[in-house]
Structure formats: structure tokens, C-alpha cells
């Protein structure tokens, strides 16, 4: 179930942890090494702080507002699914342009239902591109069901994330190049 070299990793976090900071610094450090990480990561807001839900596109630096203002007293879901899907399209395009890693900000309600950014996971993995996604600890059982048990469980820290990346990237060490070509482009 938990293969340390699996190309799909869940960065599992508790409420007191900040997966966004871990993923941001990880992506920035990879970029400095010439490794192209694409995807979407929230900007310092945790899952329970939905009204301020904003994310950054890792491959462009563009900020995306993922919430809709429903007005005072509104109790419905504040996630703007249209904005999320638009961001997903941008990530899909970036995958097609060549990526070494895909980072997905959350395994949330949309993804649990097979919607939202869930399709990006399959798209990346079918192109032999590793994927890491932040998963709240209280949703980990749902994640395992979604991933059909084919996932690595990582602690929400850089040491775990770096260790996983070292294992999955060493298999394709000669394929990740400084000119940002993806593994798929090199193999073509």
C-alpha cells in the first residue's frame, strides 16, 4: 500500500500544520535546481479559512482567487468551482508543455467526489510525472480509497517530502534536464 517509490504522494497534515508553506518552499527549491514543478498551492490559508482562499500557480506565479463572495450570512460552499476548474485547465496545459512534478493544493470535497482537480492526478501519472497532494489527516482514509491504495503517506515536513522526491526522481535522474524538458519529452 505505501511504496516509498510510488509516484503518487500524500502530504498528510493536521490542523496545526501548514502544508502550503512546505509545498511552496519545496517547489521554489526545485525550480532553483531547474526542475519544473507545475500546479496550484494555497497562499498560507488553511482549509477552514475558506473566505480567504487564494492560491498561486506554481509554474507562472499568478494568483487565483478560489472563493466566491456569497454575501453576509451566506452558509453555502464558498469555493468558486469555476475558478478551480479554470486553474485546473491552466495546470493541464502546463503538464502538456512539460513538467517534472505536479503539485495539487488539496484533496478536498471536489476531489473526493472525483471532481475538481482529481483528473490532473491521472493525467500526470499517465504521463509518468510524479504527483504530490496535501491531504488532511481526517480525510486520509478517503484518500486511500480514492487512490486505490497506491500512494505514499508523507509527514507534513520537508524531510519527508525531500526523501520521497529523491527516491522517485533518482529513477529518472538523467531525464530531468536543466532546459525544463519533461520526462515524457525526453522519452519521445
User: Would you state the pLDDT for residue 109?
Assistant: 84
Least confident of 26-30, 32-36, 70-74, 162-166: 70-74
DSSP H or E stretch at residue 185: helix 183-187
140-168 pLDDT, tens digit each: 999 999 999 899 999 999 999 999 999 99
Query: Which three cell numbers, joined as nine digits, stand for 173?
Result: 535522474
Q: How confident is the model at residue 73 (pLDDT cuts 50, 70, 90)?
A: low
- Domains, the chain, ordered by start: 8-187 (3.40.50.300)
Q: In 3D, which of 164, 182, 77 has the Cα closest to residue 127? A: 182
pLDDT averaged over the chain?
82
108-132 pLDDT, tens digit each: 888 888 888 889 999 999 899 999 9
Q: How confident is the model at residue 101 (pLDDT cuts 50, 70, 90)?
A: very high
Amino acid at each position: 500500500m505505501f511504496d516509498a517509490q510510488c509516484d503518487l504522494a500524500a502530504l498528510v497534515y493536521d490542523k496545526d500544520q501548514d502544508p502550503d508553506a512546505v509545498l511552496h518552499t519545496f517547489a521554489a527549491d526545485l525550480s532553483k535546481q531547474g526542475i519544473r514543478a507545475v500546479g496550484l498551492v494555497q497562499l498560507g490559508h488553511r482549509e477552514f479559512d475558506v473566505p480567504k482562499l487564494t492560491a498561486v500557480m506554481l509554474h507562472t506565479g499568478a494568483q487565483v482567487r478560489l472563493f466566491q463572495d456569497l454575501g453576509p450570512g451566506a452558509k453555502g460552499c464558498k469555493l468558486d468551482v469555476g475558478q478551480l476548474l479554470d486553474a485546473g485547465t491552466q495546470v493541464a496545459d502546463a503538464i502538456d508543455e512539460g513538467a517534472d512534478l505536479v503539485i495539487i493544493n488539496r484533496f478536498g470535497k471536489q476531489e473526493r467526489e472525483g471532481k475538481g482537480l482529481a483528473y490532473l492526478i491521472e493525467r500526470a501519472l499517465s504521463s509518468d510525472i510524479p504527483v504530490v497532494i496535501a491531504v488532511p489527516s481526517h480525510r486520509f482514509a478517503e484518500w486511500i480509497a480514492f487512490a486505490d491504495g497506491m500512494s505514499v503517506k508523507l509527514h507534513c515536513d520537508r524531510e519527508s517530502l525531500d526523501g520521497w522526491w529523491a527516491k522517485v526522481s533518482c529513477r529518472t535522474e538523467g531525464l530531468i534536464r536543466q532546459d525544463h524538458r519533461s520526462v515524457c519529452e525526453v522519452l519521445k
